[in-house]
Structure 1
């Protein structure tokens, strides 16, 4: 005959509702009964959970078995042993897939952030043009523009390096739907955007020396082309991010 085990369980996904004084769930041997839920489902057992002097006591066998664990009772040593079942191969595969999809989603998020940083060069160049046209300290304005362009280039190189690592891992995982086939194209377009902004900067340098329509057009046309490229490719990266985000949510 199974030994009825009553022990304090303070782990797992267990929710116990406790009330003081006379319990709305009734009493068991003078103690208020506590209802127990495991993962949203009520657990029934021969001996209910109780509130004993302010401490919640729950039936460990019923809760453990509801969580898929095995409980054994040793009459000789008065010891209750709980053993959780090893994950099935399908469960391990699910975890592996979710981890990979999470990495891909996170990497596309980094690519989006990179795109935002490069696109912001357009605003910086616009502010710089306004400052130059108003004869603000041109040397300082151009130095700041150079610094921000260099920062964007460094961020581009770092993000491309981490992307290549994740791309290689995804390809070798043989997980269905795990790939970054468009990453190379996005980075090429990002690179083109940076180059347009560099040409726009050269227009600013010339504008600082001579305020002419031709120099303004070099600055403006290249800035516009760079921004347009970044807008399109940030959209593609965003689509891919949500593709993997939804894969995780729908698992």
Structure 2
């Protein structure tokens, strides 16, 4: 009786899927973050004031030449909202007050916070990027600040409002995108944007860039310093594009 040949096709197919999944994880977890270069290395700041001042000092010459800025942060992260306001103040110390402060309506900041940031316009960027583009082009000689979510300001995400508006206006802003720095592995559950190979939101390139950077340098953290009272503010800034910066801040 002739022996039946073993069918290895199911096994090979399963092996192929496993390799493909591993490759996807490597791509999502590391691909985008490899494009960043340190501008402010991992540091321990007294507070957000000191961190914002350090950001301005490290880009003093570039900021002085620019009138048009974006700051994106992760909604619901109060310390990032605070850093956004302080960074705005640091820019204004050198350049003078902004003529236009456009706040993304999706942030739902409320009247008090918007007034504190000096809002002049409130527009939903995702749906109204054409309107925003026209506003920016019509005021290109004025000092403009756009405040939105990090996923809308980061150059890691294709076809987000930052990319679309830049394409329509042909004007390049300095863009800061703020993200949460999980100092410990267990802190990763507090990350707002996840690194997900089955991502359907389109936000994984940002989530993966932040997570990969945190994991890469986490071993350099001096945990004893973080346990001090008062605890310092952990922070860093990477260059992620020609005029784009990824700013990571601890809790």
TM-score category, normalised to shorter length: under 0.3
**If the length of structure 2 is used for normalisation, what is the TM-score?**
0.24
Higher-strand-fraction structure: 2
**If the length of structure 1 is used for normalisation, what is the TM-score?**
0.24
Q: Which has the larger radius of gyration?
A: 1
Higher relative contact order, structure no. (Cα contacts within 8 Å, ≥ 6 residues apart): 2
